[in-house]
Amino acid sequence: MKVGFEIILVLLIYMSTTLGRKYRCDYSYFADAEGWLKVNPIPANWFEARLRCHLEGGKLASPLTTGLSESMMKYIDGEVDRRWGVYTGIHATFSKGDYFSVEGVPLSRMVIKWADNEPDNFNDKESCIVMLHDGTLADVNCNDTFPYICYWKSDEDFSLNECGTVDDEYKLDTRTGKCYKFHKIPRTWSRAYMACAAEGAHLVIVNSVTEAKVVRELFAKYPGNSMVGNFWKDVAFVGFHDWGEHGEWITIDGTPLAQAGYSQFSGGEPNNATTGEFCGAIYRNGMFDDLWCENKHAFICEKSPDSLKCFKEP
C-alpha cells in the first residue's frame, strides 16, 4: 500500500511539473489555434497593439483559420466585455483598401463574416478590422482603442531556456543570477522600456559593481559596427529615470540611484545637456549618463529566470 501511494505521489509531482509547463504565464494554449493566445484587456490603438504583440515575440491575432477564429471567439467571450470587439491583425495601414493580416495573408484567403452594415469605411477613415463577440468583423479607425489578442504559433512541444524564455538572446550570468539581452535595434527610452516589459524583463537596473561589469562585458560584444543605423552607439539606455522630478535619479523599481547599489556617473555627468536629458543610460565603460529620452539608442534588458513562470495555476 505504502509503495503504491509513493508511486502516485511521484506521478502527481511529475504531472504538475510537465503539464504545468507554459510558454509564459499570460498565454493560454488552444489546440484548435495550433498555438498560444493572450488577451490584452486594456484597449490600445491598432499600432500599439501590433507593436506589443510583436515585441512579445508573437503576432496580433487574425482569424486565419477556422480553428484560430473559433479560439479567438471562445477566448474573448470570457475575457472581454461584450460591448467591445478585439483588434485583429487585419489592416490596410500600408495602402488604403489593401487588407492583409500582419502575416501577409490577404483578406480574400480568410473565411470571414462581416457584421451588419460593415464594412463601411466610415468617413473614409477606417483601415483596421475588429472581431466582435459573435465572430463577425467590422472596419474601424485604427486610432480608436480596443482590446486585442496576441498569438504565438507553436505546438506544446517547445523548450524554455535557462532564462525561462524561448528567446535565446537572453543569457544567464551566474555572477548575478540574472539574464541579460542587448537590443541592437535602437528605440526611445519609453519604447525600450516597453520592449523589455514585453519580454517579461525590465530595462537593466545596475545593483552592484559586479553587475556594472556584466553590463560592460555585454556591451563590448556589440561594437558600433555591429549595429545598423544612424545613432550614437557608445551609450545604451538602462533602467533609471528622473520620474518627472528633474535632478533626482531613481531606478524604474523606485529606488533612489544612490541606494540601488551602483550610481557611478561618468565624469561631468549627469549634465542635463542643453536641457531635457531625463532618461538613464550607460557608456561602454560601465559609467552612467543622462540622455534625451526621445533619441533612439540601443538598450539592455534584465530578466529573472522565473519572471514568466506561473507560481500558482488558476
The 3-state secondary structure of 7-36 reads: HHHHHHHHHHHHCCCCCCCCCEEEHHHCEE
Q: Which stretch binds Ca ion (CB under 5 A): 39-47, 49-57, 72-80, 204-212?
A: 204-212
Beta carbon of residue 139, minimum distance to Ca ion (angstroms, whole number): 4
d(CA 121, CA 141): 8
CB of 89 to Ca ion, least distance (A): 17
**Alpha carbons 104 and 43: distance in angstroms, whole number:** 24
Q: What's the min distance (Å) between Cβ of 34 and Ca ion?
A: 30
Taking CB under 5 A as the binding criterion, the range among 25-33, 82-90, 116-124, 148-156 that sits at the site for Ca ion is 116-124
In three-state secondary structure terms, 299 is strand
Closest approach, Cβ 69 to Ca ion, in A, equals 19
Q: How far is the CB of 251 from Ca ion (least distance, A)?
A: 9
Helix (H) or strand (E) segment spanning residue 73: helix 66-79
Closest distance between Ca ion and the C-beta of residue 194, in Å?
19
Q: Count other Cβ atoms within 10 Å, centred on residue 153.
A: 14
Q: How many residues bind Ca ion (CB under 5 A)?
A: 14
Among 8, 271, 285, 310, binds Ca ion (CB under 5 A): 271
242 forms part of the interface with Ca ion (CB under 5 A):
no
Residue 280 C-beta: closest distance to Ca ion, Å: 10
What interhelical angle do 189-198 and 46-55 show, nearest 10?
A: 60
Phi and psi at 49, nearest 5°, equal: -60, -45
* Residue 19 beta carbon to Ca ion: minimum distance, rounded to whole angstroms: 33
Name the residue nearer to Ca ion (CB basis): 208 or 226. 208
Alpha-carbon distances, residue 233 vs 81, 184, 203, 298 (angstroms): 45, 9, 17, 7
Residue 143 in the binding site for Ca ion (CB under 5 A): no
Q: Identify which range of 40-48, 86-94, 95-103, 123-131 contacts Ca ion by CB under 5 A.
A: 123-131
CB-based contact 296:187 (threshold 8 Å): yes
Residue 290 sits in the site that holds Ca ion (CB under 5 A): yes
Window 167-186: residues binding Ca ion (CB under 5 A): none
Q: Which of 236, 260, 233 is nearest to 248 (CA)?
A: 260
Q: Give CA–CA dist 147/51, Å, rounded.
A: 14
77 lies in the binding site for Ca ion (CB under 5 A)? no
Residue 205 found at the interface with Ca ion (CB under 5 A): yes
Cβ proximity to Ca ion, 169 vs 269, nearer residue: 269
| Interaction of residue 139 with Ca ion, rule CB under 5 A | yes
Q: Which of 93, 145, 154, 207 contacts Ca ion by CB under 5 A?
A: 207
Handedness of CA 122, 123, 124, 128 (dihedral sign): negative
Binding site for Ca ion (CB under 5 A): 118, 120, 122, 126, 138-139, 205, 207, 269, 271, 273, 277, 289-290
